[in-house]
């Protein structure tokens, strides 16, 4: 064996050793990375656990309970006495004309408030974003509408929209020689009054939401547009509106879910009347179901309503995402 | 040293916790028997009764609870407490729930209790399930027509006429005399006096009309249509407008208190409000359909006091003593002065405000009171009651006829059974 051969063999062994060492080192690094990732994930999970627990306790478990209740004749006293009734509670719902009336107004309320609030709050936010005397006062004033509870506002507006000649609005109209208007005693006007108050209450809050997004739009975009000769309308259509799509997504999502669940305002203002003109699905769940000791029917209503909400909100998300992609 | 202190504080806290838990378990506080009491009114109104009872029974301590001081939601909270195993030792048992309470074995049978001898027959009957009395109702309520004497005088009347047609005639005369609002009913109380008419007709039958509907022997269409047609005469005669479909109870009361409204359905609970308003007023009869009909009015025994069927020993003795005190003359006087309720027992004749003597003599003394919901199936009563008002609102608007309204009530009843 020559010296060269010995050196070559030693070199090969050394190279193999280095490769083996590299491989071990890489494996050790990979393991370390995996461990680090696992620990990071574990930390994230630990942070999420309290939220997850709250979600499970106050949303998932009650919802699962509702599904179980909806298949029984549970009367709210002792579940051990309840019997399995299959889908009978669901059949009851579809046979109840009151509920269908409630569904009609709930949909009208949701769509009307969503469209009107979005249509008014966006330009309002643009206006409140400009510099003018008393801007902060104006912002506070619009936001203040959303502070009192809907139930309290319903009771107050009951006197303002009283159909008697002594009602606040009718007194004003009377001074102008106009006969009393049956605000809350005419089905169409009563619906209009509920929607009007809901819009009046919520525009300030949603305008504030839009305002926050508006302030995040870079000012140089408008400066460039101005240099290029774009008018205010063109700037709104081509800069503001596309930039506001994510805000609109959030706002519309909240309006849809809030609208579908509406109960306090129509209940305190009109008690769902006249007739069933302003009756809502939530009122039906409370009056026909829970309030009457028919937890089974109430739960079935809740489950059906939840599914409707999920479908509607999913649809809204798809549409909003589509618009966002088209504009981006 | 620091460690020792920490240990000492921890041990102290543990002892305090164990001691408090032990106190909970024994149901006593400072050697007294603690009796929990769940009621449908605020503590300030019940406190005089509780104080007087504790003074008379120094070995018992009442632990009061209510539903945020409001009537609304009481039944629901009671239901929730029962399902959660947290029912109070003594509680107010609404008549609408009594059969469910008995079915779930949470109301003690009070039939043979000595204090039940003081209770009036009407009140006992309303608290009876399968021949046994399960709650002690000591007060009763009835509707009556509150009328403004000065406005009625404008049309030459000094009291409410006996029959419905005469009453409508009076309202027309009031309108002609310049009273813009001769009569208003609140939207959630439309057609209240119809129950008086049904009560009288039911008194001539072995089973009440509403019981017949509830049992499936009759229908709303067959039984109620004629009454609703009579009630709708208010709109045909132009003495009440469809604006009532948008008026809450408070708004009607405000109109009366302001002296603009001549007549409204009301009750003893409004005496103070109207007196405070400085009105020249009184409460009168609710007109019947025909001359000679025995006067009946919407009304019922108030919710009774029930004892939790699961308590025994000292607690049970204390609970019985509490009910005994409530039904005593002292207890009834306090109930009337503090809660504004009208005692309806055999052992005590209450002093009634002079403005309310006519309805008291006509209805509460005689027991000629009737509440349609008590005849309906216990499940869904409140939903059906709400539906009657919704249907009458539509009759008031002219969008449906009384016959359609009753047919709709039958359809609603089907969904509730």
B415 touches chain A (CB under 8 A): yes
State the pLDDT at residue B22: 42
Residue of A nearest to B240 (CA): A164
A249 Cα to chain B: minimum distance (Å): 37
Residue owning tokens 């959303």 = A146
Nearest to A293 among B100, B188, B411 (CB): B100
- H/E stretch holding B181 reads strand B181-183
Q: Of A81, A290, A292, which is closest to B379 when you measure between CB atoms?
A: A292
* Confidence at residue A293, expressed as pLDDT on a 0 to 100 scale: 77
pLDDT value at position A211?
Answer: 93
| Whether the Cβ atoms of residue B178 and residue B154 lie closer than 8 Å to each other | yes
**SS3 for B298?**
strand
Q: Is the pLDDT of residue A176 over 80?
A: yes
For CA atoms B171, B172, B175, B180, give the dihedral sign.
positive
Q: Are B389 and B228 in contact (CB under 8 A)?
A: no
Q: Closest Cα of chain A to B256: distance in Å?
A: 12
CA distance A53 to chain B (A): 22
Mean pLDDT of A83-106: 87
CA distances from B241 to A294, B183, B409 (A): 36, 9, 23
Q: Name the architecture of domain B143-299+360-416.
A: 3-Layer(aba) Sandwich (3.40)
Q: Which of A304, A246, A312, A306 is nearest to A94 (CA)?
A: A304
* Cβ of residue A182 closer than 8 Å to a chain B Cβ: yes
Q: Say how far apart CA B224 and CA A149 lie, in whole Å.
A: 40
Distance from CA of A208 to the nearest CA of B (A): 34
Q: Does A70 touch chain B (CB under 8 A)?
A: no
Could you give the CA distance from residue B77 to residue B66 in angstroms, rounded to a whole number? 9
- Give residue-wise pLDDT tens across range A213-255: 999 898 888 889 999 998 888 888 888 888 888 899 899 999 9
Pairing of strands B32-38, B60-65: parallel
The full set of domain ranges for chain A reads 3-70, 88-327
CB distance B273 to B253 below 8 Å: yes
The third-level CATH classification (topology) of the domain covering A88-327 is MetI-like fold (1.10.3720)
pLDDT above 50 (res A306): yes
pLDDT average, residue stretch A184-200: 96
pLDDT computed for residue A295 by the predictor: 86
The model's confidence at residue A1, banded by pLDDT at 50, 70 and 90, is: low
The answer to whether the CB atoms of B380 and A292 lie below 8 A apart is: yes
Residues of chain B with CATH 3.40.190.10: 30-138+302-347, 143-299+360-416
Candidates A164, A169, A300: best to mutate against B (most CBs of B within 10 A) is A164
Percent of chain B with pLDDT over 70: 91
User: Residue B246: what pLDDT?
Assistant: 94
Which residues numbered 108-147 in A keep a CB inside 8 Å of some CB on B? none
Higher-pLDDT residue of B53, A285: B53
- E strand spans, B227-328: 261-267, 281-284, 297-301, 304-307
Average pLDDT over residues A161-174: 93
Which residue has tokens 């879910």? A257
Mean pLDDT of A81-99: 86
Q: Which residues of chain B have pLDDT under 50?
A: 1-2, 6, 9, 11, 13-27, 69
Least confident of A96-100, A125-129, A271-275: A96-100
Average of per-residue pLDDT values in chain A? 88
Q: Which residues of A touch B251 (CB under 8 A)?
A: 158-159, 162, 164
Sort out which chain A residues have CB atoms less than 8 A from B397's CB and list them. 185-187, 274-275
User: Could you tell me the two tokens for A64?
Assistant: 């699962």
A132-141, A193-202, B121-130, range with greatest mean pLDDT: A193-202
Q: Residue A294: is its pLDDT beyond 70? A: yes
User: Both tokens of residue A54?
Assistant: 């709250």
pLDDT greater at residue B147 or residue A74: B147
pLDDT at A142 over 90: no
Verify whether the Cβ–Cβ distance B243 to A275 is below 8 Å: no
The DSSP symbol for B279 reads -
CB contact residues (below 8 A), chain B span 15-34, against chain A: none
Domain B30-138+302-347, CATH = 3.40.190.10
Q: Alpha-carbon distance A273 to B139, whole Å?
A: 33
The pLDDT of residue B19:
44
Most confidently modeled range among A96-105, A274-283, B67-76, B375-384: A274-283
Percent over 90 (pLDDT), chain A: 41
pLDDT for residue A94: 82
Calpha distance B224→B210 (Å, rounded): 9
Nearest to A305 by CA among A109, A106, A111: A106
């Amino acid at each position: 064996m020559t010296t060269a051969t010995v050196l070559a063999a030693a070199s090969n062994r050394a190279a193999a050793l280095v490769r083996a060492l590299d491989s071990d080192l890489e494996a050790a690094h990979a393991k370390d990375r995996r461990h680090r990732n696992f620990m990071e994930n574990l930390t994230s999970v630990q942070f999420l656990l309290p939220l997850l627990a709250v979600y499970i306790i106050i949303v998932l478990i009650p919802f699962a309970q509702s599904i179980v209740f909806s298949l029984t004749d549970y009367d709210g006293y002792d579940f051990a006495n309840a019997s399995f009734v299959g889908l009978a509670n669901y059949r009851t719902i579809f046979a109840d004309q009151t509920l269908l009336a409630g569904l009609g107004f709930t949909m009208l309320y949701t769509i009307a408030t969503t469209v009107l609030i979005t249509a008014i709050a966006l330009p309002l936010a643009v206006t409140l974003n400009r510099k003018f005397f008393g801007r902060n006062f104006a912002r506070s004033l619009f936001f203040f509408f959303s502070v009192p509870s809907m139930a309290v506002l319903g009771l107050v507006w009951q006197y303002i929209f009283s159909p008697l000649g002594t009602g606040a609005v009718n007194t004003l109209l009377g001074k102008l020689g106009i006969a009393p208007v049956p605000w809350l005693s005419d089905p169409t006007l009563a619906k209009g009054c509920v929607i009007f108050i809901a819009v009046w209450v919520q525009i300030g809050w949603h305008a504030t939401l839009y305002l926050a997004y508006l302030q995040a739009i870079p000012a140089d975009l408008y400066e460039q547009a101005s240099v290029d000769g774009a008018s205010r309308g063109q700037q709104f259509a081509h800069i503001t509106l596309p930039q506001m799509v994510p805000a609109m997504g959030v706002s519309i999502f909240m309006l849809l879910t809030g609208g579908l669940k509406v109960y306090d305002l129509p209940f305190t203002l009109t008690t769902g009347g006249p007739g069933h003109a302003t009756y809502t699905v939530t009122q039906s769940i409370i009056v026909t179901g829970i309030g009457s000791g028919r937890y089974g029917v109430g739960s079935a209503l809740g489950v059906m309503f939840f599914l409707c909400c999920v479908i509607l909100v999913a649809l809204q998300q798809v549409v909003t995402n589509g618009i966002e992609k088209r504009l981006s | 040293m620091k460690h020792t202190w920490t240990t000492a504080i921890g041990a102290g806290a543990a002892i305090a916790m164990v001691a408090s838990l032990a106190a909970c378990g024994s149901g006593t506080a400072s050697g007294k028997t603690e009796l929990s009491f769940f009621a449908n009114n605020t503590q300030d109104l019940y406190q005089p009764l509780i104080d007087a009872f504790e003074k008379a029974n120094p070995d018992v301590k009442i632990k009061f609870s209510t539903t945020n001081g409001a009537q609304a939601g009481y039944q629901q909270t009671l239901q929730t407490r029962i399902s959660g195993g947290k029912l109070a030792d003594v509680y107010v048992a609404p008549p609408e729930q009594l059969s469910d309470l008995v079915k779930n074995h949470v109301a003690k049978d009070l039939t043979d209790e000595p204090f039940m001898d003081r209770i009036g027959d009407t009140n006992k009957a309303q608290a009876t399930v399968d021949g046994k009395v399960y709650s002690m109702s000591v007060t009763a309520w009835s509707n009556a027509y509150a009328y403004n004497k000065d406005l009625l005088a404008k049309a030459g009347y000094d009291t409410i006429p006996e029959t419905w047609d005469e009453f409508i005639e009076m309202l027309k005369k009031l309108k002609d005399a310049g009273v813009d609002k001769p009569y208003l009913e609140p939207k959630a109380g439309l057609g209240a006096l119809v129950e008086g008419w049904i009560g009288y007709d039911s008194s001539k039958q072995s089973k009440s009309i509403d019981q017949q509907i509830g049992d499936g022997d009759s229908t709303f269409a067959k039984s109620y249509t004629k009454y609703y047609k009579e009630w709708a005469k208010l709109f045909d005669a132009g003495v009440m407008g469809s604006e009532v479909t948008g008026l809450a109870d408070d708004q009607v009361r405000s109109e009366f208190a302001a002296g603009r409204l001549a007549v409204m359905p009301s009750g003893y609970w409004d005496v103070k409000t109207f007196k405070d308003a400085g009105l020249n007023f009184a409460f009168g009869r609710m007109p019947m359909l025909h001359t000679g009909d025995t006067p009946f009015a919407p009304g019922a025994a108030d919710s009774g006091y029930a004892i939790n069927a699961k308590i025994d020993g000292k607690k049970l003795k204390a609970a019985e003593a509490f009910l005994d005190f409530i039904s005593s003359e002292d207890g009834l006087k306090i109930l009337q002065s503090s809660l504004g309720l009208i005692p309806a027992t055999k052992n005590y004749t209450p002093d009634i405000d002079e403005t309310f003597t006519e309805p008291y003599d006509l209805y509460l003394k005689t027991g000629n009171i009737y509440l349609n919901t008590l005849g309906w199936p216990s499940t869904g009563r409140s939903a059906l009651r709400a539906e009657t008002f919704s249907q009458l609102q539509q009759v008031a608007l002219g969008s449906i006829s009384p016959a359609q309204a009753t047919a709709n009530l039958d359809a609603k009843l089907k969904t509730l059974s």
